[in-house]
Amino acid sequence: MTGRVLLAIAVLFLLAFLASPDSFDWLFAPLTRNNAPAIYTQTGLLSLTLSHLTLVGLAVAASTVIAVGLGILVTRPAGREFLPLARTVTSVGQTFPPVAVLALAVPILGFGAGPTLIALFLYGLLPIFENTLTGLTDQPPQIAEAARGMGLTRFQRLWQVDLPLALPLILAGIRLSAVISLATATIGSTVAARTLGEVIIAGLLSSNTAFVVQGGVVVGLLAVLIHEGFQAIEARAARRIGLTGRGGD
């Protein structure tokens, strides 16, 4: 109950702050020096937040399609030999730091959202792929036998049995990817992407702690809300298939 109350307070605070940042001038003013502004106004915080979430959403959606697709491929008899290659591909984003990916992508794609999308896409592949792989392979043998006994084709078994059973774990992987991407996206502002990193960078450049804190607070609250939202969806998916104890990072 306490957790729900705190979550509701966080939602209300975030909505109120984004709707009217100037109303919270008193809260951040003690963090400023030399009469510096307490609220970042160069770009609307709501606009930056929506742009930030859009970048993350697009990247995570692309990572999910590719990672789940690869997970399905390498767990089918015809694709098992590609498992080492798939693991190598999905590990690329974790091997190269996002900053390095941005540095390599900027000369090709130019400044803006493009390099950030590439970095977030690569960074989000591994958790989703590994959870998909685990979800599709770590299933009770009796379920596979029952599916064969019912005369289901391989496609029917995948769609009606394997994927529903793996869904809680797949969602856990997407949750992890989304939370990581939400925080990582802030570096996109170093290459002119419109993210909440713009507020944090502006604060660092001007030694204005208020900007740094408000940018960090918005990103942090968004991460908590996304995490809790996905956990609720995971729990519902697990209950639907009678696996309330299943799922995880």
What CATH number is attached to the domain comprising 181? 1.10.3720.10
Q: Residue 101 falls within a domain, yes or no? A: yes
Q: Residue 21 falls within a domain, yes or no? A: no
For residue 90, is pLDDT > 70? yes
191-232: pLDDT as tens digits: 989 999 999 999 999 999 999 999 999 999 999 999 999 999
Residue-by-residue DSSP string for 25-85:
HHHHGGG--TT--SS--SS-HHHHHHHHHHHHHHHHHHHHHHHHHHHHHHTSGGGGGGHHH
Q: Is 55 exposed, middle or buried (0-12, 13-18, 19+ CB in 10 A)?
A: buried
Q: Residue 167 falls within a domain, yes or no? A: yes
Q: Residue 208 falls within a domain, yes or no? A: yes
The number of folded domains in the chain is 1
45-83: pLDDT as tens digits: 999 999 999 999 999 999 999 999 999 999 988 888 999
Q: Residue 165 falls within a domain, yes or no? A: yes
pLDDT at 137: 87
Q: Residue 111 falls within a domain, yes or no? A: yes
Q: Residue 10 falls within a domain, yes or no? A: no
Q: What is the pTM of this model?
A: 0.89
> The domain containing residue 51 runs over which residues?
43-139+157-240
Q: Residue 14 falls within a domain, yes or no? A: no
pLDDT class of 249 with cuts at 50, 70, 90: very low
pLDDT class of 245 with cuts at 50, 70, 90: very low
